[in-house]
Structure 1
Amino acid sequence: MEAEERKASEDEEPRACGVCGDLAKGYHFNALTCEGCKGFFRRAIKRTKQLRCPFLNRCTVTKSNRRACQACRFRKCQAVGMRREMVMSEEEVLERRRRIKRKRLSDAPAELSPQQEEAIEELLRGHRSTFDSAFSRFSGFRPMDRVILSVHESSQKPHVPSSPATNSCTTTTEPDTDPRMRQSPAVSSSSFGFYGVFKKQESVQERDISKSSVFTALPHIMDLTTYMIQDIINFSKSLRTFRALTMGDQISLLKGATFEIMQIRFNMVFNTKTSIWECGHIAYCIDDAVRAGFQQLLLEPLFKFHHTLRKLGLQEEEYVLVQALTLFSPDRPGVQHRDVVDELQENLALTLKAWIDCKRTDPDKHLLFPRLIACLTEMRTMTEEYSKQVLQIQDLQPEDISPLIMEVVSKSPCSDV
Structure 2
Amino acid sequence: MSAEDVSDCPPSQISAEDNEEEDEDDWETKMCQVCGDRATGYHFHAMTCEGCKGFFRRAMKRPIKFQCPRQGACVVTKYNRRECQACRLQKCQSIGMLKELIMSDEAVEKRRSRIRRRKEEATCLSRLQEAVIHELVNAHEKTFDATFSCFQFRPLDRELNPMSVWNEIAIGPKASLSRGLGSLLSSDSTSSSSAGEEEDCSYAEKGPVFTTLPHIADLTTYMIQNVISFAKGLASFRALAIDDQISLLKGAVFEIMQIRFNMLFNVKTGIWECGSLIYCMEDAFRAGFQRHLLDPLMQYHYTLRKLQLQEEEYVLMQAISLFSPDRPGVIHHNVIDDLQEKLAVMLKIHIESRRTKPEKHLLYPKILACLTEMRTMNEEYTKQVLHILDVKPDNSFHPLIQEVVSKDP
- In structure 1, distance between residues paired with 2:247 and 2:267: 33
* Alignment match, 1:412: 408
- In structure 2, distance between residues paired with 1:344 and 1:264: 19
Q: Which one of 140, 144, 147 corresponds to residue 159 of structure 2?
A: 147
1:136 paired to 2:149: yes
> CA 1:198–1:208 in structure 2 vs 1: closer, same or farther (change >3 Å)?
farther
1:206 paired to 2:201: no
* Alignment match, 1:99: none
> C-alpha deviations, 1:301-328, integer Å up to 9, x for none?
1001000000000000100000000000
> C-alpha deviations, 1:78-132, integer Å up to 9, x for none?
xxxxxxxxxxxxxxxxxxxxxxxxxxxx998101001100001000110000002
* Alignment match, 1:229: 224
* Alignment match, 1:385: 380
* Alignment match, 2:210: 215
- In structure 1, distance between residues paired with 2:302 and 2:274: 16
Cα contact 2:175–2:194 (8 A) shared by 1: no
Q: Specify the SS of the correspondent of 1:277.
A: strand
1:48-59 equivalent positions in 2, closer than 5 A? none
- In structure 1, distance between residues paired with 2:197 and 2:391: 19
Measure how far apart 1:195 and its partner are. 6.4
* Alignment length (residue pairs): 285
Cα contact 1:194–1:407 (8 A) shared by 2: no
1:279 paired to 2:274: yes
Q: Which one of 283, 296, 305 corresponds to residue 310 of structure 1?
A: 305
AA matched with 2:156: M
> CA 1:296–1:194 in structure 2 vs 1: closer, same or farther (change >3 Å)?
farther
Larger deviation: 206-215 or 230-239? 206-215
Query: TM-score, structure 1 length as denominator?
Result: 0.64
1:323 paired to 2:318: yes
Q: Specify the SS of the correspondent of 1:283.
A: strand
Query: TM-score, structure 2 length as denominator?
Result: 0.65
Q: Specify the SS of the correspondent of 2:206.
A: coil
AA matched with 1:360: R
- In structure 2, distance between residues paired with 1:384 and 1:293: 16
Q: Runs of 5+ in structure 2 lacking a partner?
A: 1-20, 23-118
- In structure 2, distance between residues paired with 1:391 and 1:175: 30
Q: Which structure's CA Rg is the greater one?
A: 2
Q: Which one of 397, 401, 405 corresponds to residue 401 of structure 1?
A: 397
> CA 1:112–1:196 in structure 2 vs 1: closer, same or farther (change >3 Å)?
closer
* Alignment match, 1:376: 371
Q: Specify the SS of the correspondent of 2:122.
A: coil
Measure how far apart 1:169 and its partner are. 5.5
Identity over aligned pairs, percent = 55
- In structure 2, distance between residues paired with 1:171 and 1:238: 36
- In structure 2, distance between residues paired with 1:146 and 1:224: 15
Q: Runs of 5+ in structure 1 lacking a partner?
A: 1-5, 8-105, 150-164
Q: Which one of 131, 137, 143 corresponds to residue 124 of structure 1?
A: 137
Cα contact 1:169–1:284 (8 A) shared by 2: no
Cα contact 2:155–2:171 (8 A) shared by 1: no
* Alignment match, 2:56: none
